[in-house]
C-alpha cells in the first residue's frame, strides 16, 4: 500500500499542475470573445451614422450665432454675431447683395437644423439597436465627456484617454469584447498634451472655460476632490483625473490648468511622454446608453509597452501590477489576432527606451503566436 503522505503529495502536485495549466489557458485566451455577425452589422451601421452626424455637426458650426440688421447713424448694416455675447462683425450696408446673404444664411441654417434633428432621431433609434445587440460597453459618463471634448475640438489634439478606458477603443477596433474583470474601473484618466495650443470656449462661470466647466456640462455635480486638485468627482463617486507628463527639464514650470484658478490642476507623472509621443488611435465606441462617441487613445502597442513597464515598478501596488500585466497581455494578443496592421516594429516604438522594449519583448514572448519585433 502506497504511503499516505506520498499519495497526498502526488494529489497536491496534480492539482497544482492543473491550476497552472488553467492559469496558462486563461492567460493565453486573455480574456476576450469575438462579436457575432449581427453585432458587427449593428456596430458598423452605428459608426457610419455617427460619422455622418459628426460631419453635419461640424458643417453646422459655420451657422452658429446669428445674422441681423443693425442700425448705426441712421443706416442699416448686416451684422454677423458669433456668440451669446454679441461678438461679431459687420458685413456691409443694407443692399440687394447683403439682403441675399441674409436670406441664404437663414435658409442654410434652417436646413442644417432640420438635418441635425433628423440625425439625432436616427441616433436615438440606433441606440436601441445597440442595446438589443448588447454592444453598449462604455460607461455613459465616459461617452458624455468624450462628446463634449469632441465638440470643443480637444479630443486627439490636446487630450487623449489613457488607462483602463482605452481598452474600449482597442476592443471596438478589433471587433471583440474583453472579459469584464480587466475592464472594470470607476475613474477616467485624461492625459493633457500641453504642446498644441489650447483653445477653450468661454463660459459664464469660468473665463476662459476649463476642464471642470466641461465636465459640468455632462454632470453638474462634478467638484474638485478636496486637496487633490487634479481630480474631480461627481455625486455618484465617478472620478476624472487630469494628468500630464513631467517636463523634460527638472526646473521647467509648465501650465497645469486649462482654465482659471478654480479649474483642475494636472498632476505630473513620469514617463507619460512615451504615450504622448506615440501615434494617436481614434475609434468610435458605444456607451452603455447605446449612444456612440469618438475616443482618442495612444497606439495599442504603446499602451501595452507602458503597461508592461508599470507592472515591473517596485513601488507599484501588487494588485495593480498584476492588472497592468493582464491588460498588456490582452492588448498584445488583440493586436496579433485582430489588428495585424499594428505589427510590433521597433521603428514605431522609438519613443520607448531600449531597455523598456527589451523587457516588454521578454513578457510578450510568452504569448503563443507572438512573431517578435520587426527590425527595420
Write out pLDDT tens, residues 151-161: 999 999 999 99
pLDDT of residue 204: 43
pLDDT of residue 315: 92
pLDDT of residue 253: 77
Measured CA to CA, the distance from residue 164 to residue 161 in angstroms comes to 9
Lowest mean pLDDT among 72-86, 256-270, 334-348: 72-86
287 pLDDT above the threshold of 80 = yes
Please give the DSSP secondary-structure letter assigned to residue 192.
E
Report residue 272 as a C-alpha cell: 507619460
pLDDT of residue 7: 54
Is 271 inside a domain boundary? no
Is 74 inside a domain boundary? yes
206 pLDDT above the threshold of 80 = no
Please give the DSSP secondary-structure letter assigned to residue 238.
-
Is 54 inside a domain boundary? yes
Average pLDDT over the chain, rounded to an integer? 88
Question: Whose grid coordinates read 505630473?
Answer: 268
DSSP helix/strand/coil, 78: strand
pLDDT of residue 23: 44
Distances (CA, A) of 222 to 153, 203, 314: 21, 16, 34
Measured CA to CA, the distance from residue 131 to residue 140 in angstroms comes to 13
166-174 and 318-338 helices cross at what angle (nearest 10)? Answer: 20
Is 3 inside a domain boundary? no
Write out pLDDT tens, residues 339-372: 999 999 888 999 999 999 999 999 998 887 788 7
Q: For residue 139, what is the enclosing H or E element?
A: none
pLDDT of residue 8: 54
Q: What length is written for the chain?
A: 376
**Within 13 Å of residue 212, how many CA atoms lie on the same side as its CB?**
26
Write out pLDDT tens, residues 226-246: 889 999 999 999 999 999 999
Is 85 inside a domain boundary? yes
Q: Decide: 218 and 165 in contact? Cβ < 8 Å.
A: no
Write out pLDDT tens, residues 30-76: 568 999 999 999 999 999 999 999 999 888 888 888 888 988 888 99
Is 352 inside a domain boundary? no
pLDDT of residue 187: 95
211 pLDDT above the threshold of 60 = yes
Total domain count, the chain: 1
pLDDT of residue 58: 87
Write out pLDDT tens, residues 80-107: 987 766 678 888 899 999 989 999 999 9
Mean pLDDT of 302-315: 96
203 pLDDT above the threshold of 90 = no
Q: 69 has which bridge partners? A: 78
Which residues are CB-contacts of 81 (< 8 A; sequence separation ≥ 6)?
65, 66, 67, 68, 87, 88
Is 303 inside a domain boundary? no
Is 325 inside a domain boundary? no
Report residue 26 as a C-alpha cell: 486563461
2 pLDDT above the threshold of 90 = no
Q: Give the domain range for residue 36.
A: 30-134
pLDDT of residue 208: 56
Q: Decide: 190 and 161 in contact? Cβ < 8 Å.
A: yes
Q: Taking CA 234 as the corner, what is the angle to CA 229 and CA 236, rounded to the nearest 5 degrees?
A: 140
Amino acid at each position: 500500500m502506497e504511503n499516505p503522505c506520498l499519495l497526498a503529495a502526488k494529489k497536491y502536485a496534480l492539482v497544482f499542475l492543473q491550476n497552472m495549466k488553467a492559469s496558462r489557458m486563461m492567460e493565453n485566451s486573455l480574456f476576450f470573445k469575438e462579436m457575432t455577425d449581427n453585432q458587427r452589422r449593428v456596430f458598423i451601421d452605428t459608426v457610419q451614422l455617427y460619422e455622418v452626424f459628426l460631419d453635419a455637426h461640424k458643417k453646422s458650426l459655420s451657422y452658429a450665432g446669428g445674422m441681423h440688421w443693425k442700425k448705426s447713424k441712421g443706416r442699416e448694416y448686416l451684422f454677423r454675431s458669433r456668440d451669446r455675447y454679441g461678438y461679431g462683425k459687420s458685413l456691409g450696408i443694407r443692399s440687394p447683395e447683403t439682403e441675399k446673404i441674409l436670406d441664404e444664411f437663414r435658409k442654410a441654417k434652417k436646413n442644417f437644423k432640420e438635418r441635425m434633428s433628423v440625425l439625432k432621431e436616427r441616433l436615438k433609434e440606433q441606440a436601441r439597436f445597440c442595446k438589443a445587440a448588447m454592444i453598449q460597453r462604455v460607461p455613459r459618463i465616459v461617452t458624455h465627456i468624450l462628446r463634449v471634448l469632441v465638440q470643443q475640438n480637444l479630443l486627439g489634439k490636446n487630450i487623449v484617454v489613457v488607462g483602463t478606458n482605452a481598452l474600449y477603443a482597442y476592443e471596438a477596433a478589433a471587433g471583440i469584447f474583453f472579459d469584464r474583470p480587466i475592464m472594470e474601473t470607476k475613474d477616467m484618466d485624461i492625459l493633457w498634451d500641453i504642446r498644441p495650443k489650447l483653445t477653450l470656449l468661454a463660459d459664464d462661470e469660468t473665463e476662459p472655460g476649463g476642464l471642470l466647466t466641461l465636465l459640468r456640462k455632462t454632470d453638474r455635480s462634478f467638484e474638485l476632490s478636496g486637496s487633490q486638485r487634479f481630480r474631480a468627482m461627481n455625486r455618484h463617486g465617478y472620478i476624472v483625473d487630469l494628468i500630464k507628463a513631467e517636463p523634460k527639464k527638472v526646473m521647467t514650470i509648465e501650465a497645469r490648468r486649462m482654465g482659471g484658478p478654480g479649474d483642475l490642476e494636472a498632476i505630473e507623472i513620469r514617463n507619460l511622454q512615451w504615450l504622448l509621443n506615440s501615434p494617436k488611435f481614434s475609434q468610435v465606441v458605444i456607451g452603455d446608453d447605446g449612444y456612440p462617441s469618438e475616443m482618442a487613445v495612444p497606439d495599442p502597442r504603446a499602451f501595452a509597452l507602458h503597461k508592461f513597464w508599470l507592472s515591473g515598478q517596485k513601488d507599484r501596488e501588487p494588485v495593480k501590477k498584476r492588472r497592468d500585466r493582464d491588460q498588456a497581455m490582452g492588448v498584445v494578443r488583440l493586436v496579433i489576432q485582430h489588428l495585424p496592421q499594428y505589427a510590433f516594429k521597433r521603428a514605431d516604438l522609438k519613443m520607448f527606451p531600449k531597455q523598456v522594449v527589451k523587457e516588454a519583448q521578454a513578457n510578450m514572448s510568452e504569448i503563443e503566436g507572438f512573431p517578435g519585433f520587426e527590425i527595420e
